[in-house]
Amino acid sequence: MSKLILVPTPIGNLKDITLRAISILSDADLVLAEDTRKTGNLLKHFGLEKNVQSHHKFNEHKTVNQIINKIKEGKLIALVTDAGTPGISDPGFLLVRTCIDKGVKVECLPGPTAFVPALVVSGLPSDRFCFEGFLPVKKGRNKRLKELAMEPRTMIFYESPHRLVKFLQQLTEVLGPERKASVSRELSKVYEETLRGTLAEILEICSNRSLKGEIVVIVSGNK
Instruction: Give residue-wise pLDDT tens across range 116-154.
Output: 999 999 999 999 999 999 999 888 999 999 999 999 999
What global pTM score does this model have? Answer: 0.93
Same fold, 3-108 and 115-219: no
- Find, among 96, 73, 66, the residue nearest to 6 by Cα: 96
The pLDDT score that the predictor gives to residue 1 is 78
Mean pLDDT of the chain: 96
Contacts of 205 (CB under 8 A, 6+ apart): 195, 197
3-class SS letters over 2-52: CEEEECCECCCCHHHCCHHHHHHHHHCCEEEECCHHHHHHHHHHCCCCCCE
How far apart, in whole angstroms, are the C-alpha atoms of residue 105 and residue 127?
32
pLDDT digit string (tens) for 203-221?
Answer: 999 999 988 889 999 999 9
Mean per-residue pLDDT for 186-194?
95
pLDDT digit string (tens) for 5-21?
Answer: 999 999 999 999 999 99
The pLDDT score that the predictor gives to residue 137 is 87
The pLDDT score that the predictor gives to residue 114 is 96
CA dihedral 55, 17, 120, 202 (to 10 degrees): -60
**pLDDT exceeds 90 at position 185:** yes
Q: For the chain, what are the domain ranges?
A: 3-108, 115-219
The CATH fold assigned to 3-108 is Cobalt-precorrin-4 Transmethylase; domain 1 (3.40.1010)
Quote the percentage of the chain above a pLDDT of 90: 95
The CATH fold assigned to 115-219 is 3.30.950
The pLDDT score that the predictor gives to residue 139 is 86
The pLDDT score that the predictor gives to residue 138 is 82
Assign 3-state DSSP to the chain and report helix, strand, coil percentages, each to 5.
Answer: 40, 20, 40
